[in-house]
Amino acid sequence: MSAALGCKCPRCGRGALFKGFLTVADRCSVCGLDLSEVDSGDGPAVFLIFILGFTVVPLTLWLGFAFDLPDWAPVAIGATLLVVLTALLIRPAKAYVVALQYRHRRTG
């Protein structure tokens, strides 16, 4: 599972898992693991919605009530946080789902 955090092949932990930003490579360049049947579906997005939703939304509400900010400021801060954190975490989340599929021998 530690290979998932580095977006590496779930079998060898060395080959690149992605060939684009979110496109899974067809095959590991190091060990030759066939990744063409891997389908993470909406799993990574669902993980991030739950994790970020339960952390960023309360933070945004707290900012709105704790400080004398204009009404739009906490929303802008929360939306910016959500976009940035999603962009940073979507690849490791997808790699984690792919690693779970490999670990439990589920493909396609």
Residue 108, pLDDT score: 47
Burial, 92: exposed, middle or buried (Cβ in 10 Å; 0-12, 13-18, 19+)? middle
The pair of three-digit structure tokens given for residue 45, joined into one six-digit string: 């997005």
What local confidence, expressed as pLDDT, does residue 2 receive? 79
Q: In this predicted structure, what is the pLDDT of residue 94? A: 94
pLDDT on residue 39: 86
- Residue 106 pLDDT: 64
Average pLDDT across each block of 10 residues of the chain; the chain has 108 residues. List them in order: 84 90 90 87 92 95 94 95 96 93 74
